[in-house]
Every structure is written in structure tokens, then in C-alpha cells.
Amino acid sequence: MARVVNIHPDTPQQRLLVQAAEFIRDGAIVALPTDSCYALGCHLGDKSALDRIRQIRQMDERHHLTLMVRDLSEIATYARVDNAQYRLLKATTPGSYTFILEGSKELERRVLHPKRKTIGLRIPDHPVALALLEELGEPLLTCTLQLPGDEQPLTEGWEIQDRLEDQLELILDAGHCGTEPTTIIDLTGDSPELIRAGRGSLEPFGLD
């Protein structure tokens, strides 16, 4: 049964962040607010939690997962980034973008796209998400909290509890945070490629 924690959207309570980080380290799946919409997250090294997230979302291994990180230095740890890519990332993060990048050797194969060896990376612009990442001290493996058959992500804590109470361990309820997912940009080619238009502006990539 999911534990619902009402957390302040702008100044999240430290004791709640400490508890949430402990839950995640112990194998929990968490629903957390971001600058685009709610996301599902788990510990990067937890295969069981990852398998459960894939089951909840009914997605196979070819669906890109997103590594949510605190800052650009962490992106460079988990992905291969050249100078041009770095400049784009620096200009657009934190923000409502997910970037497809080539994964580094720091990542286990099971979290990468099986053929391309790529992964999604993002730096969220939301106080709760950033504070949780800071407390955790490492990235979260995440995906949009949009259930199979739904046209939009879930965006209310009570709704997440109602739909997923027996499949999650923790819901960080910071109130409504939107239903528009991130803009996904593939940076692995010669020029940025739009994969999904979302909340993030396309202007910085010359794609608008």
C-alpha cells in the first residue's frame, strides 16, 4: 500500500526528503512531482523496482528510461557528451527537457536501449525533485507517470493513490504540477532531433 506524503512544492520538508531517500534505497517505487508532470522513480541499481515500473507502464526494454540528475556534472558521468552537446545542455538545463544521449560505461546495460545503448537524461526544474536528488546523492531512474490507455499523465496525489495504491510504496504529493510531459530531444546525431514536443521550448534547438 502506497504511503502518501504531503510535501511542500516550493520548500520541501527535510525530514520528508530523508524518509523518501530511505524508501528509495530500500527498493521503493516513488511518484514524484517534476517541472512537467509527475514521474515514477526508483533507485538506479534496483532491478526489481525497474521491472515493476516497466510492468506498471507496460513498456518493453526498447522504451527509453530517463535518468534524472542534479546537475551537468552528473550528466557527464552517465553519458558521453561532446562540446557542442554540452553547450546545448548548459543553455537548457534545468528545464522540461529529456535528452537522448549515448550512455557511459557507468550504466548497466539493462537500463540502456538494447540496440542504440542510449538513455534519456534530464535535470528537472522543480524544488522537490532537485531536493530529493540532493538528499539521495545519486540519480533516479524515472519515466512519465502516464498509465497505459490514458491520454495524459496523472497529476493529483489522490488520483495516483487511487490508481496505483498497491503498486507503489511512496507518493510525494506536492499538488497539481501539470500534465504536459517533457520535450524529448535526441542529441546523438549531427544535429538535434525532435522525438516528442512537450513543455520545453523548441527554440534553443532551432526546431520551432
SS (H, E, C) the chain: CCEEEECCCCCCCHHHHHHHHHHHHCCCCEEECCCCCCEEEEECCCHHHHHHHHHHHCCCCCCCCEEECCCHHHHHHHEECCHHHHHHHHHHCCCCEEEEEEECCCCCHHHCCCCCCEEEEECCCCHHHHHHHHHHCCCEEEEECCCCCCCCCCCCHHHHHHHHCCCCCEEEECCCCCCCCCEEEECCCCCCEEEECCCCCCHHHCCC
Tens of pLDDT, residues 94-116: 999 999 999 999 898 889 998 99
Q: Which residues in the chain show pLDDT less than 70?
A: none
Predicted local confidence at residue 62, as pLDDT: 80
Answer yes or no: are the C-beta atoms of 155 and 38 closer than 8 Å.
yes
Burial 28-57 (b: 16+ CB within 10 A, else e): bbbbbbbbbbbbbbbbbebeebbebbeebb
Q: Which residues contact 55 (CB under 8 A, 6 or more apart)?
A: none
Domains and CATH numbers, the chain: 3-205 (3.90.870.10)
Predicted local confidence at residue 182, as pLDDT: 96
Percentage of residues of the chain with pLDDT beyond 70: 100
Predicted local confidence at residue 206, as pLDDT: 84
Tens of pLDDT, residues 111-145: 999 899 999 999 999 999 999 999 999 999 999 99
